[in-house]
Amino acid sequence: MAELEREREHLGEREVDARLYYDYEGRFVKQRLERDRMRMLPRVVKPAMFAPSGHALGDVRVFERFTVGPVSALTCRFLELGPGERTPVERRIPILLLFVLEGGGVVSEEGESHPFGPEDVLVVPPYTRYSITAGDDGLRAWIPETRFWHVLGLLWHEHFEPHLIPGAESLDDVDGAWGGYRVPRGVLGLERDLDVRAGADPRRAAVFDARRSVRDDENRGSTWYDDLVRLLPADNARFDGTPRVIGASTRPWEDTRGGRMRFYVSNWENLAGQDLDLAMYEIAPGQRTGSHRHIAEELLLVLEGTGFEDHDGSTHAFEAGDLICVPPMAAHSHGNDGDDVVRLVSVWSHHPANEFLGGFEHIADASDWRS
């Protein structure tokens, strides 16, 4: 009831126009307009890398999709820390994947420290208290994210230390200790002040504590419902076994029909809360990857080199620092037209699109593929 009351307070007592829910024809027209807008957006985007805040393709709420690039489910942000600098302690429900571009450091998760270095992938499983501390050389990282969690209403963040939030005011307790934030009316479209208290939400913490305590499969039934019940202890075991750092040195390069690739996060990794797959491409000068098509969007960051994208026969140039946006069902390949090796980091939605709707359709082999 408390959550419902807060939601009512935030939205006010305005009646919601039923046509927003039942005007299916209107929704179809809106989708067509969105699709037309998507086609006009650039496939290669030059982000403001390491800006103080913000997401490169619009934030993780669905309201900012199709505002920068032609992708709806995916966005990303960048993190930069100076030598020894540390992020404030926080906890969130979505899993966090962080690809280290430069530098290294230590990620602390629930009091355990895990060192990392360049081109490693940091993994913070769902609802895990964490902070990241940069090493002597500082840290630069790429953080891809999916908007799936906003659709479910699960974008809560619990802050245990002060964060820099533009426009927000600090709420201090009577003894002067930091107690949270007050976001003033007008910021982010708020119609009244919004107080965000520091620390864990007691009800949410109790729910996750109860779920995490289910470790043994005590249900021996054979119905479909029993099978659903068994998913929770299996996921808790997966949580325990999820690596907190996936080291680049442990990921072998593989020569595939799609090109030379290094897979970090895939079905085989069995991560808790996995929502994205993550891999790297390496393309030699004058070569190109295989061509394929899949239901899910794909987002790539160009680490090194210059080249071009082929999307359904249209060509789009890219260079280091660019983001490449591949819309759903676009036949695509990546080419190298420069003198140096091209290196790309790629992410795509883990579920439901690819696995549930047929996987990848392979169209042509990589130019240097030898069977």
- pLDDT (tens digit per residue) in 34-82: 777 777 899 999 998 887 768 999 888 888 888 899 998 999 999 999 9
How far is CA 71 from each of CA 39, 44, 45, 74, 345, rounded to the nearest angstrom?
A: 10, 11, 11, 6, 17
Q: Is the distance from CB of 303 to CB of 322 less than 8 angstroms?
A: no
Half-sphere exposure of 83 (CA within 13 A, CB side): 2
* pLDDT exceeds 60 at position 254: yes
What's the whole-number mean pLDDT along residues 168-193?
A: 83
- In the block, residue with structure tokens 């299916």: 24
CB-based contacts of 38-42 (< 8 A; 24+ apart in sequence): 38/66, 38/70, 38/72, 38/327, 39/70, 41/66, 41/68, 41/69, 41/70, 41/325, 42/69, 42/70, 42/316, 42/325
Least confident of 6-10, 162-166, 237-241, 349-353: 6-10
pLDDT value at residue 346: 98
Greater confidence, 8 or 27?
A: 27
Least confident of 64-73, 76-85, 270-279, 337-346: 64-73
Residue at 290 is within a domain: yes
CB-based contacts of 238-242 (< 8 A; 24+ apart in sequence): 238/270, 238/271, 238/272, 239/125, 239/126, 239/212, 239/272, 239/273, 241/270, 242/123, 242/125, 242/270, 242/271, 242/272
pLDDT value at residue 22: 56
* pLDDT exceeds 80 at position 217: no
- Give the 3-state secondary structure of residue 117: coil
In what helix (H) or strand (E) does residue 295 lie, and over which residues does it extend?
none
> Residue 283's domain spans which residues?
251-364
Sort 238 into a burial class: Cβ within 10 Å, 0-12 / 13-18 / 19+.
Answer: middle
Residue at 18 is within a domain: no
* pLDDT exceeds 50 at position 353: yes
CATH of the domain at 329: 2.60.120.10
Q: Is the distance from CB of 136 to CB of 83 less than 8 angstroms?
A: yes
Question: Cis omega (within 30 of 0) on the bond before 47?
Answer: no
What's the whole-number mean pLDDT along residues 79-99?
A: 97
pLDDT value at residue 4: 46
Greater confidence, 98 or 62?
A: 98
Residue at 97 is within a domain: no
- What percent of the chain clears pLDDT 90, i.e. is strictly above it? 61
* pLDDT exceeds 80 at position 347: yes
pLDDT value at residue 13: 54
Residue at 171 is within a domain: no
Residue at 286 is within a domain: yes
Residue at 149 is within a domain: no
What's the whole-number mean pLDDT along residues 329-357?
A: 88
**How many domains does the structure of the chain reveal?**
1
pLDDT value at residue 65: 83
Greater confidence, 272 or 351?
A: 272
Residue at 321 is within a domain: yes
- What percent of the chain clears pLDDT 70, i.e. is strictly above it? 89
pLDDT value at residue 186: 79
Residue at 291 is within a domain: yes
Alpha-carbon distance of 297 to 71, in angstroms, equals: 7
Greater confidence, 356 or 151?
A: 151
What's the whole-number mean pLDDT along residues 122-150?
A: 96
* pLDDT exceeds 70 at position 308: yes
